[in-house]
Chains A and B, each alone.
Chain A
Amino acid sequence: MKFVAITSCPTGIAHTYMAAEALEMAAKEMGVEIKVETQGSVGAENQLTQSDISEARVVIIAADTNVSKERFTGKTVIEVGVKDAIKDAKGLIQKAIDIKVEDKKVLSETTEIKEEKKVERKGVYKHLMTGVSYMIPFVAAGGILIALSFAFGIHAFEQEGSIAAALKNIGGVAMGLMYPILAGFIAFSIADRPGLIPGMIGGMLAATVGAGFLGGMAAGFIAGYTVLFLKKTIKLPKSLQGLMPVIILPVLSTLVVGLVMVFIIGKPVSAINVAMSAWLTNLSGTNAGLLGIIIGLMIASDMGGPFNKAAYTFGVSTLVVGHTSMIMAAVMAAGMTPPLGIALATIIAKKKFTPEEREAGKSAWALGAAFITEGAIPFAAADPLKVIPSTMVGAAVTGALSMIFKSAIVAPHGGIFILLIPNAVTNLGGYVVAIVAGTIVTGLMILLLKKDIIVEK
């Protein structure tokens, strides 16, 4: 059995080498082979070759510095501090022996061209994840504060000057920062600091033109690559170079990204929204179950984008003061299931989520319960092709059941808090069944569709 390891410490004088020696001694004693690359103050010694890495079962990184993991794509990596290797090298190697390794054979057989593509995809994925991880706490902060305002009663926030109104306002501001942060940090990951400006502005525009989180993601990538392109093409004499980061890049990149968001993304988005709204109004008379399915699919597809907004607006338009609405009930139930289903998935399919996402899963319960569909966005943004179909199908099941059970509600918000009000929901039992069913469907679909992530400590 062969392993490779990297050791590295901040000063690179002593611990780096002690850890290396400890690992080599332990490996010898345990009868396994190990090659340790030391990254100390003299640079990298005993460097790992590509064949060392591909032969190794597991990569051990014992470092208190930032060790680049690019070389280890597709490998199982165990990361610990340098002192952990000095203290208990045997335990560390034992862990490397015991850990489950995914079968990566197929990967190593791919041709060079394919490998290049893989690296490219990894880059895009990394940028996306940077944006998502900065966004997660904003969603949690905003969503939970809004949910808290509903705890005072679902209409409490309408009272100006009340605590509930303040909570809803604060939460709304936090949620409003969601797209700017997502787009800003996607662009930041691509183009460093200059990317942040057009990214955040583009993200804000995605929100104002109603393009939802998909629009926000687009804004981030457009902003990042625009800045890279401008940096490459604009050549200035040395005396003017100081103007690049403070004036030229911000103005030009924001101009480009802003115009794209308003005209190229904003126009079709509002056209889709108008068309969908009109189409839905025409559907009013059709089969209730079918309408529920359509509503569910729309609500859970772009979460905050034109489809979602059209369905929500349609739901609200069917509310008449003092009367309940079946369509509004379907809209709300369908909007609750995406975060709930994902929260369920983070429990039944732990291996498919990063530790950070599993933590975010806990707040997704609260957000889903409060009908804050946005709780699902960080997960959907991180893995749209797997997560969005799952939330759509789950929400469609919920929408259909809610309509078939003839559940109806009186208000366009509130989530679980509305269920607690007597007579606010018609056929409460059926309504709960509809929500639970969709939650389970979404959870199970994610379990089936999503891939395991690489094991990392």
Chain B
Amino acid sequence: MNITELLSVNLIKLELNSKTKEDVVKEMAKMLDEDGKLLDSDKYIQAVMDREKEFSTGIGMGIAIPHGKSSGVKEASLVFGRSVEGIDYQSMDDELAHIFFLIAVPEKSSDEHLKILSQISRKLMHKELRDSLMSAKSAEEIITLLEQ
């Protein structure tokens, strides 16, 4: 499994500009769109926001993993975004979210990609990784951390 199939330097932003939940999703979705990963940006954002309505993907511990499965997605991909200041993502623990993984999955995705995403989700539960992601200095460093 190779995370670079899903995540590239183009899809990493160490300092997000947005201050609100909706803007974060839009800002990160725009990065996907510019990288040619989306077919229909609005449709994809809608899928992500619908998912958020079920319950917030701000899972606490400073992490949010907005995700959407939609026909508006061309290929499975991942955006990493970070906000040192923190964003109110209506997280389960009512704390601000700092690390964002926006996940895009097409209606029909290879199991290989889904497995990579499930691996990342699992890794995020570990505090050491979260701390390293917070202190990483470059996009390359983020990729290396997630590849381990």
Task: Say what secondary structure dominates the interface of chain B.
Answer: mixed
Task: Give the complex CA separation of A42 and B110 in angstroms.
Answer: 9
> Could you tell me which residues of chain B, from 57 to 112, have a CB within 8 Å of some CB in chain A?
57, 59-60, 65, 67-69, 92-93, 101, 103, 105, 109, 111
B54 within 8 A of A: yes
Contact B111 A22 (CB under 8 A): no
Q: Mark A1-33, 1 if CB is under 8 A from B, else 0.
A: 000000000110111111011100100000000
Task: Give the complex CA separation of A16 and B103 in angstroms.
Answer: 14
- Chain A nearest Cβ from B74, distance in angstroms: 17
Q: How many residues of A contact B (CB 8 A)?
A: 20
B125 within 8 A of A: yes
Cβ–Cβ < 8 Å partners of B111 in chain A: 42
Task: Say what secondary structure dominates the interface of chain A.
Answer: helix
B21 within 8 A of A: no
Q: Pick the contact of A86: B59, B109, B114, B117 (CB < 8 A).
A: B59
Contact A21 B92 (CB under 8 A): no
A87 within 8 A of B: yes
- Chain A nearest Cβ from B128, distance in angstroms: 12
Contact A11 B51 (CB under 8 A): yes
Contact A15 B59 (CB under 8 A): yes
- CB nearest to B124 among chain A residues: A18
Contact B121 A14 (CB under 8 A): yes
- CB nearest to B127 among chain A residues: A25
Task: Give the complex CA separation of A87 and B69 in angstroms.
Answer: 24
Task: Give the complex CA separation of A107 and B121 in angstroms.
Answer: 39
Whether A86 touches B60, Cβ cut-off 8 Å, given contacts A22-B125, A42-B111, is yes
Contact A17 B122 (CB under 8 A): yes
Q: Mark B33-59, 1 if CB is under 8 A from A, else 0.
A: 000000000000000000100110101
Contact A11 B93 (CB under 8 A): no
Cβ–Cβ < 8 Å partners of B67 in chain A: 11, 13-14
> Could you tell me which residues of chain A, from 29 to 83, have a CB within 8 Å of some CB in chain B?
38, 40-42, 64, 83
Q: Pick the contact of B122: A10, A11, A21 (CB < 8 A).
A: A21
Q: Pick the contact of B54: A10, A13, A25 (CB < 8 A).
A: A10
Contact B125 A25 (CB under 8 A): yes
- Chain B nearest Cβ from A84, distance in angstroms: 9
Would you give 18 A-B contacts (Cβ < 8 Å), ordered by A?
A10-B51, A13-B67, A13-B117, A14-B117, A14-B118, A14-B121, A15-B57, A17-B122, A21-B121, A40-B114, A42-B114, A42-B115, A42-B118, A83-B92, A86-B60, A86-B92, A87-B92, A87-B93
Chain A to chain B: the 7 pairs with minimum beta-carbon distance, closest first: A21-B122, A17-B121, A17-B118, A21-B125, A14-B121, A14-B65, A42-B114
